[in-house]
Amino acid sequence: MSPSGKTGIVGAIAFAAAVAGCGGTRLEGPRTWSFEADAVGATPADFEVPATPAGAVAGKWVVEVDPGAPSPRQVLTQVATEFRESHFNLAVARTADTGDFSLSVHVKALARVADPEDRGGGPLFRYRDPANYYLCRWNPLEENFRVYRVVAGKREQLGSARVAGTTDEWHTIGVEARGAQITCSFDGQPLLGMKDESFAAGRVGLWTKADAVASFDDFKVAPR
């Protein structure tokens, strides 16, 4: 077999393993990130900020002070505003994998950009690498709430609901995943449900797109 043929087979095997969610230690107990003990102006040590295939530069995630936060006074905020189009800003928790789980996070879309391309954000889950994961996000500009899968760097919509929400106010996103069944809620209301078998397990994290500036607080995940 030629070297190029061997390389193709190795790459295909690696991709299949990522998509199937093979390997990795599973998260054994609940975790909560309130960011109260983290240094203001820095990325929390519990999170990594990877660059995605669509952008060689990662987003900028820092702890800020927000006296009105759900758990005062510190929050995690994606503050970079120079990115456009399909640039995804990821902050991934340094935890073991989760398979079946429930999670919740408070999110506030911030109006810091005068003429924004994007706004809002939400949690990512069953993260395998920067090109393979699920995400659930709210966008007040588009007035919608959506679930996507990202496979080999390509984002594909799995479900959408019309949600207005309000910029510069706190809202809550929840996700329940049991096997292939995924249910997502906004401010306590289950709005999206679907089945998808792309990823069986992975880490959790936070996500925004392009120039969207958003704060997050009380990020909680519990295995089921």
Domains, the chain: 3-223 (2.60.120.560)
**Bridge partners (DSSP) listed for residue 174:** 104, 185
Listed in sequence order, the residues at least 6 apart from 70 whose beta carbon sits closer than 8 Å to its beta carbon are: 106, 170, 217, 218
- The pLDDT > 70 percentage for the chain reads 88
CA distance 217 to 204: 14
Tens digit of each residue's pLDDT (9 = 90 or more) over 39-82: 999 999 999 999 887 666 788 999 999 999 999 899 999 998 87
pTM: 0.87
- Whose tokens are 């009105």? That residue is 68
Stronger pLDDT, 6 or 207, i.e. the higher one: 207
Strands (E), 20-100: 31-33, 47-48, 61-65, 74-78, 88-93
Cis peptide before 178 (omega within 30 of 0): no
CA distance 169 to 93: 24
